[in-house]
Amino acid sequence: MAHFVSGDKELAPPYHPAGKNSPVWKQYLASQGVEDTLEDFLVKKERVAPLRLDPLVDDLLLPSFARDLWWVWAGLALIGSQLGD
């Protein structure tokens, strides 16, 4: 699940690792009018829409494959029965 990150304390630690690991980080910031400095990034953070991605672990939010794909097994059984004729 994606969450917009607005707190400077939460944005500051991952700022430099994100830039070091991405081949397009500086180009993206420049396209948004943001200098590649922590200070400018924090001032203009709304321009880059920083998001935090959290995994869904609640069974109600993320159905298991067994329940979600029951129709696949039914379809395979039907196809198998047609091939046997």
Of 53, 72, 73, residue with least CA distance to 5:
53
Residue-wise pLDDT for 43-71, tens only, equals 888 888 788 888 876 655 555 555 667 77
Residue-wise pLDDT for 3-52, tens only, equals 888 888 888 777 766 677 788 888 888 999 999 888 898 888 888 878 88
Return the exposure string of 23-37: e unless at least 16 CB atoms fall within 10 Å of the residue's CB, then b. eeeeeebeeeebeee
